[in-house]
Amino acid sequence: MNCLQKISVVFLLFFLVGCTSETKKSPIDFYYWRSNYGINQTEKNTVDSLKVENIYVRFFDVDKTTDHIQPVGIIQNFDATKLSVNYIPTVFITNRTFLNTSKDQVKTLAKNVFNFINETAKKGNLNEFEEIQIDCDWTKSTRENYFLFLNELKHISNKKLSATLRLHQVKFKDKEGIPPLDKMVLMCYATENPTDQSENNSILDLNIAKDYLQNLNNYPIKLDVALPIYSWAIVTNHLGKIKLINSFSEQDLIGKPVKKIRNGFYEVEDDFFVEKFYVSKGFTIKVETISPELLVKTKSFLDTKLKNDYRLIYYHLDSKFLKTIPTQL
């Protein structure tokens, strides 16, 4: 073999290795975010086939109105016996809950949240759990109270404590602060506000996500990653007012009096109901969905930023969305 042939072989091998490299697989978990708990056979089969170990179940939200902090949106009919997994109680807390709240109130809140988690778990036959997750889009003005809450809850519960992490909290970590935790879950979605009437996919636009996550590898806390598999419709009326309809896909428009304007955008040609919501002629409907291909590209990008192994958590467990999950992940 002459020198030129050797160079050709080396180049060919390099090319083949580069072309056959695959996105690395990560263990898969799910969020469960519906208010009325129920698992159908399709969902159970998916959990079993993917060998899911953990389900993060939203137990309730916490909100403050007129200085009164209380649980809202409490899950109904939760039953931990439906799946053979580790259930992780998850609580969403509004940012305003921590605004203008005294330190004593924050400490009391931590006790009340933990007590209500235990109460909800017991009702749902969840006798033991090792971890609690808190979901809160904290800001600079609420950071001190939120971090105090996390410390207090961790101390009171004696459980592993994790929390969600938004994209902007990665990019602006010096301003937003680093929570006092050992593990967080990066919410790699909600790249834009759906009410902004942008041409982009507000659920997940990879270019926007990349901009937020340029320095993800420098974040000082161990991260797992949540990816979206849901879809929704953004309905805009004649006055520019917007209504968001969850769990919606383009299939829901089949047979409806709509005209496709461009990819993902439709104009209503006659009045009809969409998920109990009345739409009139002239309204526009933007349907935002997630493709398996987008999830693969997003995962490949994240693999370049997160050198340690991480778990992949899909948001959320619903048979309507499960076909979105790519087989290669």
Q: 323, 112, 125, 102: which is closest to 229 by C-alpha? A: 323
Amino acid at 3: C
Q: Which of 281, 279, 250, 285 is nearest to 265 (CA)?
A: 285
Residue 55's closest CA among 136, 165, 159, 129?
129
pLDDT tens-place string over residues 49-71: 999 999 999 999 999 998 799 99
Task: Return the closest-CA partner of residue 291 out of 244, 323, 257.
Answer: 323
Q: How far is CA 85 from CA 17, 23, 44, 80, 245, in A?
A: 37, 26, 11, 8, 30
Position 171 scores a pLDDT of: 97
pTM (2 decimals)? Answer: 0.91
Give the pLDDT confidence of 264-309 residue by residue, as tens digits.
999 999 999 988 889 999 999 999 999 999 999 999 999 999 989 9
Identify the pLDDT of residue 155: 98
- Token reading at 304: 């370049």
Looking at residue 329, what is its pLDDT?
Answer: 84
Residues of the chain under the 50 pLDDT cut: 3-21
pLDDT confidence of residue 1: 53
Give the residue from 26, 96, 92, 94 showing the smallest Cα distance to 57.
92
Name the average pLDDT for the chain. Answer: 93
Domains identified in the chain and CATH numbers: 25-230+290-324 (3.20.20.80), 236-279 (no CATH)
| Tokens linked to 277 | 């919501």
CA distances from 92 to 75, 221, 274 (A): 12, 20, 28
Task: Name the residue among 43, 62, 60, 61 with its Cα closest to residue 52.
Answer: 43
pLDDT given for residue 22 in this prediction: 61
Which pair of structure tokens corresponds to residue 71?
Answer: 């649980």
